[in-house]
Amino acid sequence: MPAAGTGSIEALVDNNRLLRAALDVRIGDMRLWELVAATRREVLMVAAEYTGHYRDVIRPADVADWIARPIIMGGHQPELFHPGVWLKNAALDAYARQVGGTALNLVVDTDRCSRVTVPVPVGTPEAAHMEEVAFDAFTVEAAWEERPVIDLECFASFGDRASRLLAPLVPRPILRAWWPLAVARAKASHRLGLGIAQARHVLEERFGLDTLELPVSEMMRLPTVMVFVGWLLAHARRLHDAYNEALAEHRRARRIRGHGRPMPDLAVRHDSAGEWIEVPWWMWSREDPRRRRVFANMSMPGGLALSDMETLRIELPITPDTSPSKWIDALSRMEEHAIRLRPRAIVTTLVSRLLVADVFVHGIGGAAYDAITDDVVRRLVGSDPPRHAVVSGTLRLPLAESFPELEAANPASSLASVRAMLRDLRYHPERHLEPHASQPEGVRDLIAAKRRWIDTHPTATLARRRCHEIRGINERLAALLDGEQAALERRVATLTEGARASAVLRSRELPWCFFPEKTLKSFLLLENGTGET
């Protein structure tokens, strides 16, 4: 991982620019470097305009210099993510400052809004558990891009409801003061996800972070990005094969057996129109916002057909020989008719890394997926893509001050010890009886008999009897320790509850807004208030 202050981010920027320059690819009637320059201009201008709708943005006067400077990029879904994800945004800012460039965060609103509840830790440190708290009403699953707030009252009250539940453990989470901003931004943007993302971005500005943001849905509407998407679709067969081959190699290298991991292969289907090959996009319409897989039929004269193999089918004049202007017109008409064609994760980062970012910053999960993206690019163009950076962190609830006993407590370790003791009582009860000389003669005889059976070689004829005799003696000896066993089992019940509570309180998946502001600033290395790390 490039670390701020070490100079490694500069080296990565320089290396990535060399790698991109080596990509000798023609996209329509342009070389890749020409498309990159045009795309960076469009992305920066549109990102500045989008961000300027809800927070201050200062555009450099020299646009050419702005475009030429490094772009440090990352992205995530517009959800209530954990602090480890948020750390990427602080890293974008720090790296961009270090190289004199621009930090740009993608709001991945093309992903699915699949849940509208978050787990809130409630109870006492000894018996904490998670309680699911809704921030909106559930409706049909849809992309964040299409998802408005359904239940305004539920959304507006979430901050207070969750903060009250948190209060015994975290008296002053930033959630209570910050949530009204999320409510205001959701009303202004008319979108659930954008409301959350914009409110978080405004808070970052107050923390001193200088970044731009742009929804992926907006990036996909840019003409330059449409040219690249058109080129990928024009070479759908190559993309399909490269994607599946990269997945197969990923599984082989990591000895993964399941064909659905880390994601399924792109499929092939047949109907009366011929062969349909799956391509790595999603498709839906405004009337039916369920994301569906996309299949391409390459047999159409002068173009291709895209279909979800259910209700949507559209013909596009996209081939390697047609003009990029026709690609743009065709994809724009889809948007005008409220038919969405949106990239899956691998295509999103492929577009970002090839066309825009000098360095793309991933978390651990995204980095694992992008090893596949790297291989896809190599198979498509025969060269290495620009490399990405990885930033990750873990923050747990700051409970030591209010509950200092939690620092020393380790119920999981104690539970393992007690269970080991119970197992020993079962299989070696003689170890826990009174000293041998003080035991009744009958007990001493049982122990001696067990020793004789243990020392007996387990021949084919004796093996079953030997096992039966040893087990019977163990049960008779263990019966003499019923009191000790009962006490240990009660201890197991107590420690099991404590271990569950500890797992709840030590979870790294809790939303960032459940933490106090001071804790967050310290984690993001923003204690000095400058936003520098």
Name the residue among 17, 265, 263, 210 with its Cα closest to residue 97.
210
| Residue 213: count of CB within 10 angstroms of its CB | 24
Strands (E), 230-354: 268-271, 274-285, 292-297, 304-307, 313-316, 339-343
pLDDT at 530: 39
**103-112, 292-301, 438-447: range with lowest mean pLDDT:** 438-447
Question: What mean pLDDT is predicted for residues 333-349?
Answer: 95
Higher pLDDT, 369 or 242: 242
Question: What mean pLDDT is predicted for residues 132-136?
Answer: 98
Q: Does residue 5 have a pLDDT over 60?
A: no
Residue ranges of domains in the chain: 8-15+32-109+191-218+348-399+512-523, 117-182, 225-343, 405-505
- The Cα–Cα gap between 138 and 156 comes to 15
Counting other chains too, the contacts that 376-379 makes at CB distance below 8 Å and 24 or more residues apart are 376/239, 376/242, 376/243, 376/246, 376/346, 376/350, 377/350, 379/238, 379/241, 379/242, 379/245, 379/246
Confidence grade of residue 98 (pLDDT, cut at 50, 70, 90): very high
Q: Does residue 476 have a pLDDT over 60?
A: yes
Interstrand relation of 339-343 and 359-362 (parallel, antiparallel or unpaired):
unpaired
Torsion region of 118: left, alpha or beta (phi above 0 gives left; psi -120 to 50 gives alpha) = beta
CA atoms within 13 A on the CB side of 100: 5
Name the residue among 17, 24, 387, 30 with its Cα closest to residue 223.
30
CA atoms within 13 A on the CB side of 393: 21
* Residue 439 DSSP label: S
Question: What mean pLDDT is predicted for residues 3-20?
Answer: 80
Q: Does residue 445 have a pLDDT over 70?
A: yes
Q: Over the stretch 37-95, which tens digit does the pLDDT of each residue have?
A: 999 999 999 999 999 999 999 999 999 999 999 999 999 999 999 999 999 999 999 99
Question: What mean pLDDT is predicted for residues 239-258?
Answer: 94
Confidence grade of residue 367 (pLDDT, cut at 50, 70, 90): confident
Residues 352/73, Cβ–Cβ less than 8 Å? yes
Question: What mean pLDDT is predicted for residues 255-275?
Answer: 92
Name the residue among 298, 294, 301, 240 with its Cα closest to residue 274.
298
Q: Does residue 527 have a pLDDT over 80?
A: no
- The Cα–Cα gap between 276 and 301 comes to 15
Q: Over the stretch 181-204, which tens digit does the pLDDT of each residue have?
A: 999 999 999 999 999 999 999 999
CA atoms within 13 A on the CB side of 417: 7
> Over the chain, what is the mean pLDDT?
92
What is the model's pTM? 0.86
Q: Does residue 114 have a pLDDT over 80?
A: yes
Name the residue among 174, 296, 180 with its Cα closest to residue 243.
296
Q: Does residue 2 have a pLDDT over 60?
A: no
pLDDT at 221: 97
Q: Does residue 438 have a pLDDT over 80?
A: no
pLDDT at 436: 67
Q: Does residue 210 have a pLDDT over 50?
A: yes
- The Cα–Cα gap between 333 and 449 comes to 88
* Residue 361 DSSP label: E
- The Cα–Cα gap between 169 and 465 comes to 57
Q: How far apart are the first and last CA of the chain?
A: 15
pLDDT at 404: 72
**220-229, 248-257, 297-306, 519-528: range with lowest mean pLDDT:** 519-528
CATH topology of domain 8-15+32-109+191-218+348-399+512-523: Rossmann fold (3.40.50)
**Helix segments in 356-410, DSSP class H:** 364-381, 405-408
Name the residue among 145, 155, 225 with its Cα closest to residue 189.
145
Question: What mean pLDDT is predicted for residues 344-350?
Answer: 95
Q: Does residue 408 have a pLDDT over 80?
A: no
Mapping DSSP to helix (H, G, I), strand (E, B) and coil, where does residue 396 land?
coil
pLDDT at 48: 98
Q: Over the stretch 22-33, which tens digit does the pLDDT of each residue have?
A: 998 999 889 999
- The Cα–Cα gap between 55 and 505 comes to 35
**3-7, 336-340, 526-530: range with lowest mean pLDDT:** 3-7
Question: What mean pLDDT is predicted for residues 406-421?
Answer: 82
Q: CB-based contacts of 196: which residues, under 8 Å, 6+ apart?
A: 78, 79, 80, 182, 185, 186
pLDDT at 462: 86
pLDDT at 258: 82
DSSP string spanning 55-123? S-----S-HHHHHHS-EEEEEE-SS---HHHHHHHHHHHHHHHHHT-EEEEEE-TTSEE---EEEEEES
Name the residue among 171, 228, 189 with its Cα closest to residue 354.
228
Read off the tokens for 34. Answer: 């020409």
Q: Does residue 406 have a pLDDT over 60?
A: yes
